[in-house]
Chains A and B, each alone.
Chain A
Amino acid sequence: MGDHQLAGWEKALAKPFGDIYNFNFIMLMVFTVIEVGAVYMELEKYTTWVILISVGIIKVFGIAGWFMHLRGDPFIFTKTAVFPLFFVALMIYGIGLSNPGGVDDFPSWCLPPWAA
């Protein structure tokens, strides 16, 4: 998990900051400011979506890749991490995007007592 296992472009990024962890920390902070700023500036709906999703992907890469050492660890750990994402994607599609009754057509047994 040390710097010696990083690719050339990662070493180049890390060099001005001392090591990749310092770089990653600063990058995460900067992108969080962008995230909060994008919402605070009240941009157009889809522009905000694009910014938030892009920033989210970059932050996930930074945290999982460098802080969690997936970059540099045996590739089987990356495979392990990616495996459930297939099921999460399936859930988001199956529940999130394709179920027309998912908002107001819940059966009563599926609702809490105050909402049934």
Chain B
Amino acid sequence: MSEHTNGNESPWMGSVGIGIALLGIAGGLFAVHLGAEMAHIHALNVGALVGSILIGFYGLMGVVAGLVNSSVEASGNGHDDHGDSHDKYGHHGSFSPILMALGLMLFLYGFVESYLILILGLLIIFIAIFNWWREDYPNDGKNEMKSLGQPYGGLDVRKVGIWIFLMSECMVFGSFFSSYLRMRLGWTTHWDESCNSIGEDPSLGVCSDNYVIVASEYVTHNFWTLLPGAINTFALILSSYTVVLALKYASASSYVKPKTKLMQMWLPDQRRAVRNNLVATLLLGTLFLVLKLVEWDHLINDQDFTIKTSLAASIFYVSTGAHGFHVFVGLIILCFFCFKAQNGGWDKDNAQSIEYFGLYWHFVDLAWVAIFPAFYLY
């Protein structure tokens, strides 16, 4: 499968076509958003807006993927040669991640400074993504760099790198969690006092002066407010499962067709089994972000629980926002994986890339295992 083609004459045209189709779907969703806004259907309005932005973004990624494919074709670079210097230990990495980090820094800085910086940041991010994908697209896994020193001698450098990166992420979420834990144990909340805190039941009496309302009070208020967070938890677990399945199918030396007809339709051959599971992961991640922002919108506009309301609100939005940002980064990477899978770019020799992405994605799931009960349920 390393020829990166699904039999089409020009696979890059396919990626551009899918990209344009996604942009069309995004336009349709935006129309739904406008309609829902006029009809005052709040949740649909927000959900369709977020969905249109994300799917529009995937459409742009499709166009980028098409340009990447055509650029690889034009250079005749259909094997694992990244255009940089090689030796027997493999390639030497890329400046693209650093460029992307620079773009991201400018993009985030632009939020408070100016639209010009924001657009410049986005532009740099797109250039970095283009170059990064272009380098990684022909990777057939045959030049996987091995660690030479101890204690990781003989192991894939990328795998070691992603584990060390994830452990630094552990510290980031650990600091959020520990500060929340300290504040939460010191506050007087619904754990300690039964009162009419969110204005729903006057018979419960007035809360004390030092009473603090936490997000979980609003979230667990009734079935419908709890539902988005619960669906999100199931969506993340299911998406972790679909990544594992994509890896399982990509790394299989021979493909065994499923027994049931339904599953045969879903997974007709190895290429589509990998692609469909990756696309399912992308859709579940998108669902997660849409529901998260619908939930935020409910808290901000219906409950007036904004980032400035209190420290409880501040730590809630910072922690869940940081987690949501990690999901979004995962979706950008998944876009590339899906377009590469569409062109039959994954096989048992390079499936380890799916495994390394999977490690990141499962970590995002792990962080949610701590965030969901701490911030949403209790």
Residues of A within 8 A of B (CB): 1, 19, 21, 24-25, 28-29, 32, 35-36, 39-40, 45, 48-49, 52, 55-56, 59-60, 63-64, 67-69, 74, 76-77, 79-81, 83-85, 87-88, 91-92, 94-97, 99, 102-104, 112, 114-115
A103, B314: Cβ atoms closer than 8 Å = no
Using CB atoms, name the residue of chain A closest to B237: A28
B226, A96: Cβ atoms closer than 8 Å = no
Chain A residues with CB below 8 A from B234, complex form: 29, 32
Of B37-45, B101-109, B168-176, B327-335, the one touching chain A: B168-176
A85, B182: Cβ atoms closer than 8 Å = no
B182, A96: Cβ atoms closer than 8 Å = yes
Chain B residues with CB below 8 A from A102, complex form: 179, 182-183, 186
A92, B177: Cβ atoms closer than 8 Å = yes
A-B contacts, 12 listed (Cβ < 8 Å):
A21-B244, A32-B234, A35-B377, A45-B191, A67-B243, A76-B155, A77-B163, A84-B168, A85-B170, A88-B170, A96-B177, A103-B187
- In chain B between 173 and 214, which residues have their CB closer than 8 angstroms to a CB of chain A? 174-175, 177-179, 181-183, 185-187, 191
B182, A67: Cβ atoms closer than 8 Å = no
Chain B residues with CB below 8 A from A103, complex form: 182-183, 186-187
Question: Looking at the complex, which one of B170, B186, B237, B359 makes contact with A25 (CB distance below 8 Å)?
Answer: B237
Using CB atoms, name the residue of chain B closest to A39: B377
- In chain B between 248 and 262, which residues have their CB closer than 8 angstroms to a CB of chain A? 248
Chain B: minimal CB distance from A23 (Å): 11
A35, B155: Cβ atoms closer than 8 Å = no
Q: Which of B311, B365, B369 has the most CB of A within 10 A?
A: B369
Known pairs A76-B151, A84-B167, A104-B186; A92 contacts B181 (CB<8 A): yes
Using CB atoms, name the residue of chain B closest to A28: B237
CA distance A91 to B365 in the complex (A): 22
A95, B233: Cβ atoms closer than 8 Å = no
Chain B residues with CB below 8 A from A80, complex form: 160, 163-164, 167
Chain B: minimal CB distance from A38 (Å): 8
9 nearest A-B residue pairs (beta carbon):
A103-B186, A88-B174, A96-B181, A102-B182, A96-B178, A25-B241, A91-B178, A39-B377, A84-B167
A67, B167: Cβ atoms closer than 8 Å = no
Question: Looking at the complex, which one of A40, A63, A81, A97 makes contact with B182 (CB distance below 8 Å)?
Answer: A97
B230, A36: Cβ atoms closer than 8 Å = yes
A56, B369: Cβ atoms closer than 8 Å = yes
Chain B: minimal CB distance from A71 (Å): 13
A91, B241: Cβ atoms closer than 8 Å = no
Chain B: minimal CB distance from A15 (Å): 17
Known pairs A67-B362, A76-B151; A60 contacts B240 (CB<8 A): no
B183, A36: Cβ atoms closer than 8 Å = no
Chain A residues with CB below 8 A from B119, complex form: none
CA distance A94 to B355 in the complex (A): 35
Chain B residues with CB below 8 A from A115, complex form: 311, 314
Chain B residues with CB below 8 A from A24, complex form: 241
Chain A residues with CB below 8 A from B241, complex form: 21, 24-25, 67
Chain A residues with CB below 8 A from B175, complex form: 91, 95
Interface string of B296-307 (1 = CB under 8 A from A): 000000000000
